[in-house]
Amino acid sequence: MKKIEAIIKPFKLDDVREALSAVGIRGMTAMGVKGFGRQKGHTELYRGAEYVVDFLPKVKIELILPDGRVEECIHAIMGAARTGEIGDGKIFISAVERVVHIRTGEENEAAI
């Protein structure tokens, strides 16, 4: 099993969710986060003082998938989240040792 973590632009969340649904992904977790990479921050003016906003709003989505579903998931996220502009985001893939469903006690692929 793999864990997919994707950092995307907030306005792309619905597009990504729909793209994942279209390839049969049943669930995901989404949370608002802040960060920066190559996009860096920007300067704003507040009450006459200039300051730098280093952390930009993003959305982080997480999914746990069987190994065989990873590539189609990556392609779905990339297709839906890409704008072609700086700050489109990143996808991280890592191994998952074990998953346990709290209510049923099912484990691993049966739990996802």
The percentage of the chain sitting over the pLDDT mark of 70, rounded to a whole number, equals 89
Q: Which CATH number fits domain 2-111: 3.90.1560.10, 3.65.10.10, 3.30.930.10, 3.30.70.120?
A: 3.30.70.120
Query: What residue ranges do the domains of the chain occupy?
Result: 2-111
pTM score? 0.82
pLDDT band, very low/low/confident/very high, at 36 (cuts 50, 70, 90)? confident
CB atoms within 10 A of CB 29: 10
Token pair of 14, please? 């619905």
The per-residue pLDDT for 47 is: 74
**Per-residue pLDDT reduced to its tens digit, 63-92:** 999 999 999 999 999 999 999 988 899 999
DSSP H helical ranges for the chain: 13-22, 70-81
Between the alpha carbon of residue 55 and those of residues 40, 43, 101, the distances in Å are 8, 11, 35
